[in-house]
Amino acid sequence: MSANVLDGKAIAGEIRRELADEVAALVGSGCRPGLGVLMAGDDPASAVYVRNKTRACDELGIHHETVMLSASSTTEEVLGVVDGYNGRDDIHGILVQLPLPAGVAAATALERVDPGKDVDGFHPVNVGLLVKKRPRIVPCTPAGIMEMLRRSDVEIAGRRAVVVGRSDIVGKPMALLLLHADATVTLTHSRTRDLPSVTREADIVIAAIGRAGLIRAEHVKPGAVVVDVGMNRIDDAEQARQLLSPKRLERFAERGHALVGDVHPGVWEHAGAVTPVPGGVGPLTIAMLLHNTVKLAARQCGVAC
């Protein structure tokens, strides 16, 4: 058996095409959605993420601005940028790109964002609304995964789901969304004992723990749906031989590094459906960032879309 591919890239394209009509309607009403981005430090992955997000904004006609601060930035400097975005009527969504430099209090920065402009859904107010099943904004990656499951006709209600990873960004909100969709959910993490015995019970496995190739065939029951959220950069040749296809190994030899997920390739011969890395969850995260920006703009402008 070889797993079906859950094509996040194609589904993200569907979402973006739908959003194009909504953006056009907002602009026609005199409300152009605006996204304010703050990036501090010189993290290469963050630079790529921000570039991809702002390029996607350009394609949809969403206004965006990015403030770049140095790695030596202080919490006060970061808060000053957030306050500036909070006070502007043309900025409807605010994105504080993580990670922030070690000297910056990230929790303080995220809580400073106006909850009504919190495009990532990380503010405690929005987290609380999600817990109460009254979400205003849902974190982008879990929201994208739910869209992918629904649009791929994956049954959720009544199914057993296991989320591997308990981060505030993916694991916890993912578990809540699955629970709200009537799945029976288990949230696991690095200290879960005998993880394979837990994940083998699942109809749906969400791998979001940030460890390359952790989820193997013995973790997955035949026919399960496996969503790989991992984005791990590897530069070890032996690890690459275990995790990469021959074609990707050639590129690894040229570049000296590669991006892999949390799911081992052996799962593809065992599961019913799997998301690839890259090309799976990543495009959905960006699509839902655009969705959240448009949603916040419509709310602030008092326009139905």
DSSP 8-state class, residue 113: S
Residue whose C-alpha is closest to residue 227's, from 252, 260, 262? 262
Our answer to whether residue 53 is catalytic in this structure is yes
Q: What is the 3-state secondary structure (H, E, C) of 138-154?
A: CCHHHHHHHHHHHHCCC
- The helix/strand count (H/E) of the chain reads as 11, 11
The answer to whether 262 touches 214, Cβ cutoff 8 Å, is yes
To 10 degrees, what angle do helices 281-301 and 140-151 make?
110
Residue 8, token pair as written in the block: 């996040």
The answer to whether 188 touches 211, Cβ cutoff 8 Å, is no
Q: Which of 97, 114, 203, 262 is catalytic?
A: 97
The answer to whether 69 touches 40, Cβ cutoff 8 Å, is yes
Determine the Cα–Cα distance for residues 289 and 107; give it in Å rounded to an integer: 20
Q: Which of 114, 118, 120, 228 is catalytic?
A: 120
> Which positions are catalytic?
53, 97, 120
